[in-house]
Amino acid sequence: MIRSRRGAVHTLEAFLAAVIIFTTLLCSASMPRERDRAAETPLEAVGMEALLRLDGNGTLGRLVEAGGWDPLELSLRAALPVDVSFNLTVLDEDGIPVNDQLISNGGLVGRTVASVEYLLAVESSSCPLYRLRLQLGV
């Protein structure tokens, strides 16, 4: 009779171990993992691609020349991924900031910060040159 109880205890022990292992696997699969941004596209490439896309259709030049900083911020918000924070400074040919208000989606947040310099020539009679400094953070 003692042997039959011992077998039942071992069976119960094996069943509980299987339940614990299954629960652990189930819970660990549902936990979000931190994405490895190093394996993805670098921030510099993301920023340059966004600026090139906005400049390709002429939006960037029109907004900078008109001083439309709010629409420029909205355009950058749409062009950049949601999890990327940014700060844009528009400089004239002498290196003096042109934008009188902050062009940002809340400041640079994150462990990784990158900076992109972009030279912009606006199509107009005077053809001014602007240097855009886009800082990105994740």
Domain borders along the chain are: 1-33, 43-137
The one-character DSSP state at 123 is -
Letter for the amino acid at 107? G
DSSP, collapsed to helix, strand or coil, labels residue 116 as: strand
For the purposes of burial, counting CB atoms within 10 Å of the CB of 107, is it exposed (0-12), middle (13-18) or buried (19 or more)?
exposed
Residues 24 and 117: beta-carbon distance below 8 Å: no
pLDDT (tens digit, 9 = 90+) per residue, 19-65? 998 888 888 777 766 665 555 679 999 999 999 999 998 899 999 99
pLDDT (tens digit, 9 = 90+) per residue, 61-109? 999 999 999 999 999 999 999 889 999 999 999 999 999 999 998 877 7
